[in-house]
Structure formats: C-alpha cells, structure tokens
Amino acid sequence: MPSSDHAAMPAGLAKTQTGISGFDEITLGGLPTGRPSLVCGAAGCGKTLFATTFLVNGATRFDEPGVFVSFEERAEDLAANVASLGYELETLIEEGKLAIDHIRVDPSEIEENGEYDLEGLFLRIGFAVESIGAKRVVLDTIETLFSGFTDQALLRAELRRLFGWLKERGLTAIITGERGDGQLTRQGLEEYVSDCVVLLDNRVVDQITTRRLRVVKYRGSAHGTNEYPFLIDTGGISVLPVTSSGLHRPASDEIASSGVPGLDAMLGKNGFYRGSSVLVSGVAGTGKTAFSAHFAAAACARGERCLYFAFEESADEILRNARSYGLELGQHVQSGLLRFEASRPSLFGLEMHLARMNRDLQQFDPHVVIIDPISAFRGPLAEVHATLLRMIDLLKSRGITGLFTTLRSDGGMMDDTETGLSSLMDAWVKLENDEANGELNRTLYVIKARGMGHSNQVREYQISHAGIALIEPYIGPEGVMTGTARITQVAREAAAKLRRQQETEQRRREVVRRRAALERQIEELRAALESEELEETIRLSEADAREDKLRLDREIQAHMRGYS
C-alpha cells in the first residue's frame, strides 16, 4: 500500500496496530481501537496464532498489555505452541505484560437448574484485565461456551453483553470463531461483532496449501478487499499485501551493470536501469544461470546486497558451477552480501512463494534480486502471470533491480508465458543456441531495453573459465556467422585480402615494367632520330662539298678553254 493512503485515513477511527507484517497495511493501520474484531476460519488456519501475535506484539512493541482468555488450550499448551515462533509467553507473564486465563467448559460437569447468567466470566476477564492494566483482549474460541450451556438464548444475550462490556472498557479485542456452514462462524458471532471481521482460510489446491486472509468488513474504514496470502513459519505470521494498483514509482537513472562487459556495451548505457526488471530467456544450456551469477557477482562487487532465489539448483551447486566460469561467489556469501533462498517451487503454492519472498525482502533488504527461473512456477497461466506481476511490483516498489530467468521451450519465437511476460519487463535479453555446421553456438540479442538505445545485433558469446565473453560480431555480405563458420569465414576473408594485395602488387610491378619498356622504346626512337639527323647533316655537307667541287671544276675548265 502506498504510504499516502495512511495519510488519507479518516482521523475519526483510531486503529491499533497488530504488528503483523502486511496486515496493518491492508487495514490501513490495524484493528479498530477499543472494539472487538472477529477473526474466523476453519480449524488449523492460524486463528490462535494470529490472536497470540496480536497480544505478544502489543506487549513487546506497543506497550499494551494483553489478556488471553483461552477456552480451548491450557496456558502451558498455548505457551508451548507458540514457543517455536520465538514467543516467550512465560516471560511476558512474569513481567506483567500478559495474562492467560484458561476457561474450561465441560458440559458433563455442569448441571443447569434455574436462572443464571455469565457474570462469572465477566468477573474473570475483568479481573485479568485489571491485574495487568490490559489494553488488548483475546477470546479464543468463545463459541466453546455454546457446548457448555443449553440456554442458547441466554448465551446470545450474554455474548452481546460481553462485547458491549469490552467496548465500554475500551479494550481492543479479537474474538476467534470457527468457520460454519453458510456463515462465517458456527454460532453466527458475526452478528454481534460487526466492526471488523477477518477471515482466515487454508486452501489445498493440487496438494499445495495456501493460507489466505481477507478482511470481510471493516466498519468506518477503507481496507484492502482482496484475499491476501499469508505465511506462518518460524518468523511468525506475515501477510502479503497483493499489489499497489497505481503505477506511481520513481524511475531511476542509475545503472546497474549486468556483469558481462559486452552485454553492457550492447545496452548502450553500460548496464540496466536500477530498479528495472530484466528477463533473460533461453533454451536449455544457454547459460541463464551463468548470466545470473555474473549479475550477482557484479552487484556484490559494488558492495550491494543480492538475494538469489533458486528454484532448480541448490546454493552449493550454483557456487560450484560459478567457480567453473571463474566467479568466486562464496566470498560474497560469507561477507553477507549474497544470500541464496533455494527451494523447490512445488513445495509451496504461488502465493506462498510470494509471501515468503516478501518476508525475505523485508528482512534482507537487497538491492538486487535474482529469480532463477520463473519458468519453474507451474500452474494456471493466469495465476502464474498474476503472481509474477506482483513479484515485479514487489521489487519495483522497493526500487530493487530484478533479474528473472526463464526457460524457453524450443520452437517458436516466443511461447505464451513469454508474450505475457514481456510487457512486464523493462529489458529482455534472449539467449539462443544456433545449431549449424555440426556445432552448437550460443548467441544473444537484446529484444528490448526500455529507455536505452540498445544494439540490434545478434552476438555470439562463449562461456569459458574466464566467464561470459561476447565475441566481435562477424557481419559480412554472407550474413552473421558464428563458431567455426565465423572462424573459417574470417580466414577465408584474410586469404582473399592477401590475394587481392598480391594482385595489386603484381599489377603495380607490371606498370613499372611497361613504363620502363616504353621509355626504352622512346629512347631508341630518339636515338634513331638523332642518328638520322646526323646523317642528313653529313649528307648536306657532302652535297655542299660536291657543289663547291663542281663549281671549282667548272672554273678550271673555263679557264682552260680560253679565258685564262
């Protein structure tokens, strides 16, 4: 329940805290002060324990002494029965904080003769109340009176008077009653105690018992109307408020690393948002628990508390397996940062798991919770879904980052549970086994990560003794490749590249060679041209010489003919 509801509580109705975790939230403060409340239910559903807890908490935590009027169990038996819950009734009695009066009604010993009333009962309760200054009274189970006295009309009148008497004295009282056919109690006590009626129930479905509590009515006060699962174990009694219906929770900008650097990088913000819910889904053998262990290790390394709910493996198995991929979680367990709660999911009903979880969360107050896996919860789909929703609500309301793993059956893209789940989750990492070329390679991708610009790549990862490592993606013209296919492809590419380099080199040498050849040719042509030019020059000079010779000869001939 959001705390704002407490503030909205009408001031007129004073309430007395029971100190029962969860119940005071449902009733927005506890039972009506100074009035009797009826707690009814079938045998063995925890009425006496509820009532005892109310008194013990009153005596130890709220400084309100109490009287237990037992019509069934003797004081010694009562003390012995609740000793296992850590309640020390004898000590409280010695300290004057608690009084127990065992009223034995044995019809065989009583003979009626004429008019009577139950003033003796009033005096006894009054005496017990006054002896310790009690503020709280429990009558357990007053219906026993009906077996001891034959005059039912008188008995009813006296009960009415008794409840009035309790009210007059301002005593906050719990009257317990056995569940009857067609009505809340066998004797119709609800007629007399009408201020507050609480119904306890113990249901067995598929051989699994779930205790539930419902506030049937609460005059003058709002209250949660649902059936709430509750838990009785060595920690006492605790009720799980179902869920806060509103979605008003602060969003954190802080980031919690997934513990796998490559995955952090894919998310774009180096991890998940704190207080978000993360789903890691995958088929068998994809390393869901390994991712969980990395997440846990990362949280503990930051000095945060991590609560690990394991439903398929024991704590020791997880620790051993984590060592095989290089995570030493044992040290965190010893330092108290990491706590395992391992149990078979079939041990309790879904509601009980929730109630247990709620209590563990309150006790351990973790920063990070891992639930491995949620697919272990079996039951009708709607119920599983509702349970998970409340689990997530539970975590979110406390700002806890939750990592859920789920086993996905092979085949389709997603099965029904996943479809339902995805809307509840803030981030979803999907793990796959890709079978190709005679080998199985693991890949992952981020389906969604609200509020993060996450990568859309499918990445291969390997789990080795050094942990989970994402491998640089191979995305080429022939698609994404994994495993040896990737390695061969990389090798093939390298070879092709080398070949290309060699070819280029060859081409360059060819060019150089051809240039040299051409240049040589040019040289030759030029040389030829030059020799031709030289010859021409020689030829010209020879012609000139010849011309000179001819002229000379002509001059000589002319001279010789007579002109000389």
Q: Is 111 in the site for other proteins (CB under 8 A)?
A: yes
Gap between the Cα atoms of 48 and 58, Å rounded:
15
**Residue with Cβ nearer other proteins (115 or 253):** 115
Beta bridge partners of 480: 475
> Is 119 one of the binding residues for other proteins (CB under 8 A)?
yes
Q: Count the residues of the shown chain that bind other proteins, applying the rule CB under 8 A.
A: 25
DSSP letter at 268 equals S
Smallest gap from Cβ 114 to other proteins, in A, equals: 3
Taking CB under 8 A as the criterion, the residue among 72, 73, 88, 101 binding other proteins is: 101
Q: Which range of residues in 107-115, 166-174, 380-388, 443-451 is near other proteins by CB under 8 A? A: 107-115
The C-alpha atoms of residue 272 and residue 257 are separated, in whole angstroms, by 6
The smaller minimum CB distance to other proteins, of residues 129 and 290, is found at 129
> Residue 203's beta-bridge partner residues?
210
Tell me the CB-side half-sphere exposure of residue 130, using CA atoms within 13 A: 6
Identify which of residues 117 and 542 has a Cβ nearer to other proteins in the complex.
117
Could you give the C-alpha distances from 126 to 63, 68, 249, in angstroms and in order? 19, 12, 49
Position among 7, 8, 63, 115 found at the interface with other proteins (CB under 8 A):
115
- Considering the complex, what minimum distance in angstroms separates the CB of residue 103 from other proteins? 6
- Compute the distance between CA of residue 432 and CA of residue 129 in angstroms, rounded to an integer: 68
Distance CA(131)–CA(98), nearest Å, equals 10
Q: How far is the CB of 41 from other proteins (least distance, A)?
A: 25
Q: Which helix (H) or strand (E) holds 280?
A: strand 277-282
Question: Kind and range of the H or E element at 269?
Answer: none
Among 126, 235, 262, 268, binds other proteins (CB under 8 A): 126
Closest CA to 488 of 474, 477, 467, 502: 474
Q: Minimum distance from CB of 146 to other proteins (Å)?
A: 12
Least distance between other proteins and beta carbon 121 (Å): 5
Nearer to other proteins, 85 or 103 (CB): 103
Distance CA(332)–CA(330), nearest Å, equals 5
Query: Which residue number, 125 or 427, has a Cβ lying nearer to other proteins?
Result: 125
**Helix 75-83 vs helix 47-60: angle between axes, to the nearest 10 degrees?**
80
Choose which of 117, 416, 472, 535 interacts with other proteins (CB under 8 A).
117
Give least dist CB 247 to other proteins, A. Answer: 55
- Segment interacting with other proteins (CB under 8 A) among 119-127, 219-227, 356-364, 468-476: 119-127
User: Least CB distance from residue 106 to other proteins, whole Å?
Assistant: 8
Binding of residue 120 to other proteins (CB under 8 A) = yes
Q: Which is nearer to other proteins, 130 or 472 (CB)?
A: 130
Which string of DSSP letters, residue by residue, matches 297-359?
Answer: HHHHHTT--EEEEESSS-HHHHHHHHHHTT---HHHHHHTSEEEEE--GGGS-HHHHHHHHHH
- Residue 317 Cβ, how far from other proteins at the closest point, in Å? 57
Q: How far is the CB of 148 from other proteins (least distance, A)?
A: 8
Six token digits for residue 536: 């021409």
CA–centroid distance for 527 within its chain: 92
Q: Please name the residues in contact with 118: beta carbons below 8 A apart, sequence gap of 6 or more.
A: 145, 155, 158, 162
Neighbours of 530 (CB within 10 A): 10
Helix axes 381-397, 350-364, angle to 10 degrees: 10
- Could you say which of 4, 84, 113, 245 contacts other proteins (CB under 8 A)? 113
Cβ proximity to other proteins, 117 vs 328, nearer residue:
117
The identity of residue 6, as a single letter, is H
Rounded CA-CA distance 245/355 in Å is 18
Tell me whether strands 459-464 and 467-470 are parallel, antiparallel or unpaired.
Answer: antiparallel
Q: Which is nearer to other proteins, 155 or 338 (CB)?
A: 155
Site string for other proteins, 131-170 (x = CB under 8 A): --------------x--xx---------------------
Q: Which is nearer to other proteins, 99 or 184 (CB)?
A: 99
Q: What is the DSSP letter of 559?
A: I
User: Which residue in the set 127, 251, 497, 535 belongs to the binding site for other proteins (CB under 8 A)?
Assistant: 127
Residue 321 amino acid letter: N
Query: Least distance in Å: CB of 102 to other proteins?
Result: 8
Q: How far is 407 from 375, CA to CA, in rounded Å?
A: 6
Instruction: Name the DSSP letter for residue 257.
Output: -
Regarding 114 and contact with other proteins (CB under 8 A), the answer is yes
Q: Measured from the CB of residue 110, what is the shortest distance to other proteins in angstroms?
A: 5
Nearer of residues 134 and 266 to other proteins, judged by Cβ: 134
Per the listing, tokens 């003796």 go with: 120
Task: Tell me how far, at minimum, the Cβ of 107 lies from other proteins, in Å.
Answer: 11
Nearer to other proteins, 71 or 309 (CB): 71
- Nearer of residues 96 and 220 to other proteins, judged by Cβ: 96
Residue 128: its H or E element: helix 119-132
Query: At its nearest, how many Å lie between other proteins and the CB of residue 183?
Result: 25
Cβ closer to other proteins: 151 or 532? 151
Question: Dihedral sign, CA of 51, 55, 60, 63?
Answer: positive
Tell which one of 85, 93, 105, 265 touches other proteins (CB under 8 A): 105
Helix/strand/coil for 259 = coil
Residues forming contacts to other proteins in the complex (CB under 8 A) are: 101, 103-106, 109-121, 123-124, 126-127, 145, 148-149
